[in-house]
Structure 1
Amino acid sequence: MVTHTHAIVPGDVRTRAQIRETFGGSGQGGICPSIDKESVNLYSDPAVGELNGYYDGWLAEEDDLGPVFEYTGAGKSGNQTFAGIAGSGNRAILRHAEQNRTLRVFTQVGLLPGSGTKTHQYVGEFTLDTLEPYVWRRVHGNDGKDRNVIVFRLRPDGEFQRLAENLIPAATETTWELVPFEIVTAATLHSASATIGELPTPKNAKKKASLPRKAVENSATSGTFVVSEAFNRKMSLRSSTAAHIAVRREAELTRTYMAYLRSVGRKTGAFQIRVKGLTSTLKTDLYDATEHVLYEAKGSSAREEVRMALGQILDYSRYVRTEDHPEPPKRVILLPAEPDLDMFDLCRSYGVDIVYRSENGSFIGETVPVE
């Protein structure tokens, strides 16, 4: 039922005109910033999203920090961007905290009786996840064209409405494809491509039956090669916790080693992995596409971090395959300093190598390519 009071709380249904009276913003478009109301209003229409190859909504799986609402950025055709006029809405989301604006999410739920006016349900206030504010995804549009989109990871900030119909559908099939993304950092908003040389043009999604026999064991998953995430993301004012410090150290280490790989002519990126039955997407840290090497990075060389990295890389490497490399990848843990000696023995027993940064800044390990 549509009411006409100015107060809007999670679960209320309003027309866009009524929402504008309270929270400002444009009368059209999905991302609607308002300077005077200090708000960035995000409108999600499931029918429009599905038509363009993506879904907005809640992940069914929660992590230690709670629920996540994924919202796809602006741009219905071609690759999405943070740059220029086309990227202005995406920049508004990315910079909402520093511009003292509140993210508010609304989902389209119906029409006013006897008219074509859409109604929207207020989900609540959100802020970007400070550890991973956004990820890049490859989607397949209704026009048959593949493109790269920005998927923002939103955390509820206060009261919110979480309905079953707003859950993202779980993965139902396996697809494998190379996707050459560009790095876009929150600090610079755009930078050079993270890939070296030409990557193969993405083809139609490859079904499980087309994969070599060695990959059949992964029939419940999908893997997509994407560029490593924005390694030097802008953190919010709440970034002083140990977790955020660890993320920044890991990001800096990964960025530095990626730059080294690029300097010796390696193509670099990362894999995104969807697991059948789940709505969330896994993401690896770094992938050497030239030599088929998967890296898992950590911001600390402590024993517990090495053990965590070992579990992650054993998990992720089950799904990392390409047309050129249908076999399992070489697995390497990337560390900021030399770990305890017995950690080398532990990792070696599982077929995993270690690369670490020395005191003079160089990288040491059997996998490190020679300039």
Structure 2
Amino acid sequence: MTTKASAIVPGDVRTRAEIRQAFGGSGQGGICPSVEKQSVNLYSDPAVGEVNGYYDGWLVEEDELGPTFEYTGAGKSGNQTFAGIAGSGNRAILRHAEQNRTLRVFTQVGLVPNSGTKTHQYLGEFTLDTLEPYVWRRVHGEDGKERNVIVFCLRPDGDFQRSSKNLIPAATDTTWELVPFEIVTAATLHRDPATTGEMLTSKQRKKKASPPRKAAENSATSGTFVVSEAFNKKMSLRSSAAAHIAVRREAELTRTYMAYLKSVGHKTGAFQIKVKGLTSTLKTDLYDATEHVLYEAKGSSAREEVRMALGQILDYSRYVRTKDHPEPPKRVILLPAAPDLDMFDLCKSHGVEIVYRTENGSFIGESLPAD
């Protein structure tokens, strides 16, 4: 083990005292900001996380942007938050770039010989994922009660250490569950989950479709994440402006349609899906629990976006079931404008419908619920 604290590089193993000398932060806790060292140090201890119903670590699956490290926020009991003292550590992660601080991740690997002092391996510097900085996830706490936790999606920013010891274990079975509806992007910040009511406990009578109507304003949005110049500079390393615009439009469209469903008395949610053999957790867009309808939203009506949505909804719908609805759901793609005419035929041939928004803000589609 190297003893010069200032020379910590990815892969090095150090005690917390040595890490504090180099990067500051508290002597205890998982999220340790340091104003002096301009750092936010994240400590992951698998033994602690597993007891509290979650895993920190690398996803085995990579996307076009490379590897992802999932880190669960602070709060061992009850729903996690960004608000107040309890949410101060989570806010420090979310705002690290605009506060000009560097995210550094350490994972507990052992003990100093003949001592109870823990040692931690330095994994490297990270930044939040550009388009999805965090997700809300439903887990079972050590007391057996369900709670909402914040799972930050971290991307390596430079050299990093990755080993099989830091991988999130693959799911042993395919499972799915209905969870509260939330949207998280780099453009929005919800201080609390944007739920729209209790899930249904009994079957509801089907209703006939109604004529197009004005989209209801979204009343569930609780705040706006104002992206600072520093944040944009940091986050733009891996994403184009066009991608940000599409994600913002998708979030706005989904929230607006969710509010419309709520205005006609429907209950909404989303599905959290774990697939056997995979480490990542899938999350659907919007689910109408009253009518058993699964929606996949896109921020653009371009042909490639419709084709992507079609593939996603065919994939997700295999797992969308509830006690009251053991049958496959109705599948609908939600778009900000009408797509090319042949896209309607393509989707219909796969048993998927399209609902889109008109220029005056109303929605058109056979699947519109009745008042």
CA distance in 2 between partners of 1:275 and 1:78 (Å): 26
Deviations 1:19-61 (A, max 9, x none): 1111111110000011111110000001111111111000001
Whole-Å Cα distance in 2 between the matches of residues 72 and 65 of structure 1? 21
Distance 1:242 1:182, change over 3 A: closer
Further displaced range: 184-193 or 272-281: 184-193
Structure 1 residue 190: Cα displacement: 4.1
Distance in 2 (CA, whole Å) between partners of 1:336 and 1:182 is 19
Match of 2:297 in 1: 297
Displacement of 1:259: 1.4
Deviation at 1:369, TM superposition (A): 2.1
Tell me which residue corresponds to 2:53.
Answer: 53
Q: Distance in 1 between matches of 2:129 and 2:367?
A: 33
**CA 1:184/1:134 → structure 2, altered by over 3 Å: closer, same or farther?**
closer
- Equivalent residue pairs, number: 345
Pair 342,184 (structure 1): closer, same or farther in 2 beyond 3 Å = closer
Q: Secondary structure at the match of 1:124?
A: strand
Give the counterpart letter for 1:344 in structure 2: F
Match of 1:90 in 2: 90
Greater mean alpha carbon deviation, residues 33-42 or residues 5-14? 5-14
Q: Post-superposition shift, 1:366?
A: 1.1
Q: Which amino acid aligns with 1:65?
A: L
- 1:239-278 matched pairs, under 5 angstroms: 240-278=240-278
Using a 3 Å threshold, how does the CA distance of structure 1 residues 311 and 251 change in structure 2: closer, same or farther? same
Shift of residue 344, structure 1, vs aligned partner: 0.9
| Cross-structure match for 1:222 | none
Aligned-partner residue type, residue 136 of structure 2: W
The within-5 A match list for 1:139-218 is 139-180=139-180, 189-190=189-190, 194-199=194-199
- Checking the alignment, whether the CA contact within 8 Å between 2:5 and 2:22 is kept in structure 1 is no
**Secondary structure of the equivalent of 2:87?**
helix
Per the alignment, do residues 322 and 95 of structure 1 end up closer, same or farther by CA in structure 2, a change over 3 Å counting? Answer: same
Provide the alpha-carbon RMSD of the alignment: 2.3
Distance 2:34 2:126 in 1: 15
- Give 3-state SS (helix, strand or coil) of 1:6's partner: helix
With over 3 angstroms needed to count, the CA separation of the structure-2 counterparts of 1:75 and 1:31, relative to structure 1, is: same
User: Contact conserved, 2:132 with 2:186, CA < 8 A, in 1?
Assistant: no
CA drift at 1:189: 4.8
Letter paired with 2:356: Y
- How many angstroms apart in 1 are the aligned matches of 2:339 and 2:174? 37
Return the offset for 1:334.
0.5
Q: Do the aligned partners of 1:185 and 1:233 also contact (CA within 8 Å) in 2?
A: no
- 1:183–1:230 Cα contact (<8 Å) kept: no
Q: CA deviation at 1:186?
A: 6.8
Q: Does 2:16 match 1:8?
A: no
Q: Give the whole-Å Cα distance in 2 for the aligned partners of 1:192 and 1:106.
A: 28
Contact 2:132 2:185 (C-alpha < 8 Å) held by counterparts: no
Name the SS of the counterpart of 2:7 in structure 1: coil
5+ residue gaps, structure 2, are 202-219
Match of 2:206 in 1: none
Q: Cα gap change, 1:290/1:2 in structure 2, threshold over 3 Å: closer, same or farther?
A: farther
Letter of the aligned partner of 1:172 in structure 2? T
Q: 1:178 to 1:76 in 2, by over 3 A?
A: same
TM-score when scaled to structure 2? 0.87
Return the alpha-carbon distance in structure 1 between the equivalents of residues 222 and 276 of structure 2: 26
User: Match of 2:287, as an amino acid?
Assistant: Y
Q: Contact conserved, 1:194 with 1:269, CA < 8 A, in 2?
A: no
In the alignment, the residues of structure 2 paired with residue 265 and residue 193 of structure 1 have an alpha-carbon distance, to the nearest angstrom, of 19
Contact 2:133 2:185 in 1 (8 A): no
1:130 and 2:107 aligned: no
Give the residue type in structure 1 aligned to 2:94. L
Which string of whole-angstrom CA distances, capped at 9 and with x for unpartnered residues, describes residues 152-178 of structure 1?
A: 000000000001100000000243433
| Deviation by residue 1:248-283 (Cα, 9 ceiling, x = unmatched) | 111111111111111222111211211100101111
When structure 1 is superposed on structure 2, of 312-321 and 143-152 the one drifting more is 143-152
**1:299 to partner: Cα distance:** 1.1
Aligned to 1:220: none
For 1:353, give the aligned amino acid: E
1:172 and 1:192, CA in 2 relative to 1: closer, same or farther beyond 3 A?
Answer: closer
The secondary structure found in structure 2 opposite 1:93 is: helix
| Aligned partner letter, 2:276 | K
